Amino acid sequence: MSATSPYGAVAAATSATQLGPVLEAGGRELARLLARTEERLAEVIGSYGETLAGYAAGTLAAGGKRLRPILVFVCGGAACDPGAEDEPLCDTPAGTALVHAGAAVELLHMATLVHDDVLDRASLRRGRPTVFSSAGRPAATATGDLLFSRAFAELVATNDVDAVRVLSSASSALARGELMQRSDAWRADVSPDRYLERCELKTARLFEAACRLGALLGRPGRSATDALGAFGARIGVAFQIFDDVLDVAGPAERTGKRRGTDLLDGTVTLPLILARRRDRDLRDLDLREVVTDPAQAEAVCDRIALTGALGEARREALHHVAQAKAALSDLELPAGPRGALDLVADGVVERYS
């Protein structure tokens, strides 16, 4: 297949993030929907003038692998079995609705990244300067607000009130999760259950929304929304746990940030919680006083790794992956979509492994 085809372009962008096999399983329809979504995202962020478009474009470029739109499309039926005679999904009204939904979840995700960078005073996002660092707090806040509003405008175009409700619920959960994370900053008494509740709100609910939107607007139909939503929620928790593992152990040249970024902004994650149970010195450590620069943060990361907490956290992530797959056990899905979802589930804990 040529490098200029939709499949070739999207596959090249995602193969390094373990999602290349998902595109292979999804085939041409999945790649076409992703390509249309990229075009739609570019249209949206370019429609508000040169200044705001420039700020949003940097966030779009640093946004990563488009995992959430992929979940919309796969749960919407974009992955087909070889030889299926269905009309190409991309050419149907349902396909157009899925593109709007895929763009909506990505815009909401982008908005949270911009706002997180403001709260964390982050200078880089995936190796690129953040809006906060390049344009300041007011511009970054306004950019995030714009992206939030555009996410809901995209879903209005589907004429599906339930779809808007799904994204609205996820947006509220994101805000609650962020408030919980700020409340827990620097604390030494955060429990694993409290951490997992935060993951449910701040990360899993948007994954769940992506899967529910796919079911609502695509081929599976509304009867499949609960099972696919449960799949997305478990995948979201696993994704966040492993993201936190990568903050301690991931290579900076591939994650786009130095190890220990969470420690520097006071975010208490599962690896730290588990390490404190194993290492008395870590348990007694006042991170606010000790972790004041990147070199110190990396030193604490090394100490966390020595406790074996990273392996325990990864096993917890794999437990949620298993739960995600179990949520689909009673759902009648063709082999194509089911295989693609299994690959997504496995991929969230295989990044940089």
Mean pLDDT per 10-residue run, the chain (353 residues)?
33 46 77 92 82 74 80 83 61 90 95 82 73 79 88 93 96 95 93 98 97 90 88 97 92 76 92 96 89 90 96 96 94 82 87 52
User: Residue 93 has what DSSP assignment?
Assistant: H
What digits encode the pLDDT tens for the residues 236-294? 999 999 999 999 998 776 666 789 989 998 999 999 999 999 999 999 888 888 888 88
Q: Does the domain spanning 188-329 belong to CATH 1.10.600.10?
A: yes
| pLDDT of amino acid 84 | 52
| pLDDT of amino acid 118 | 79
- How many helices and strands in the chain, by DSSP H and E? 19, 2
Q: Do domains 1-80+87-159 and 188-329 have the same CATH topology?
A: yes
User: Which 3-state string (H, E, C) describes 140-209?
Assistant: HHHHHHHHHHHHHHHHHCCCCHHHHHHHHHHHHHHHHHHHHHHHCCCCCCCCHHHHHHHHHHHHHHHHHH
Q: By C-alpha distance, which of 317, 238, 311 is closest to 275?
A: 311
Angle between helices 205-217 and 67-75 (to 10 degrees): 40
Could you tell me if residue 326 is left (phi over 0), alpha (psi between -120 and 50 degrees) or otherwise beta?
alpha
Q: Record the pTM.
A: 0.88
Q: By C-alpha distance, which of 206, 231, 236, 200 is closest to 337?
A: 231
| pLDDT of amino acid 46 | 80
Q: What are phi and psi of 62, to 5 degrees?
A: -95, 5
Question: Residue 292, Cβ neighbours under 10 Å: how many?
Answer: 11
129 by Cβ neighbours in 10 Å (0-12 / 13-18 / 19+) ranks as: middle
CA separation for the pair 208, 174 (Å, rounded): 12
DSSP per-residue codes, 293-332 = SHHHHHHHHHHHHHTTHHHHHHHHHHHHHHHHHHHTTTS-
Domain limits of the chain? 1-80+87-159, 188-329
CA separation for the pair 86, 74 (Å, rounded): 15
CA separation for the pair 76, 166 (Å, rounded): 15
| pLDDT of amino acid 4 | 34
Q: Does the domain spanning 1-80+87-159 belong to CATH 1.10.600.10?
A: yes
Q: Which amino acid is at 76?
A: G
Beta bridge partners of 129: 124
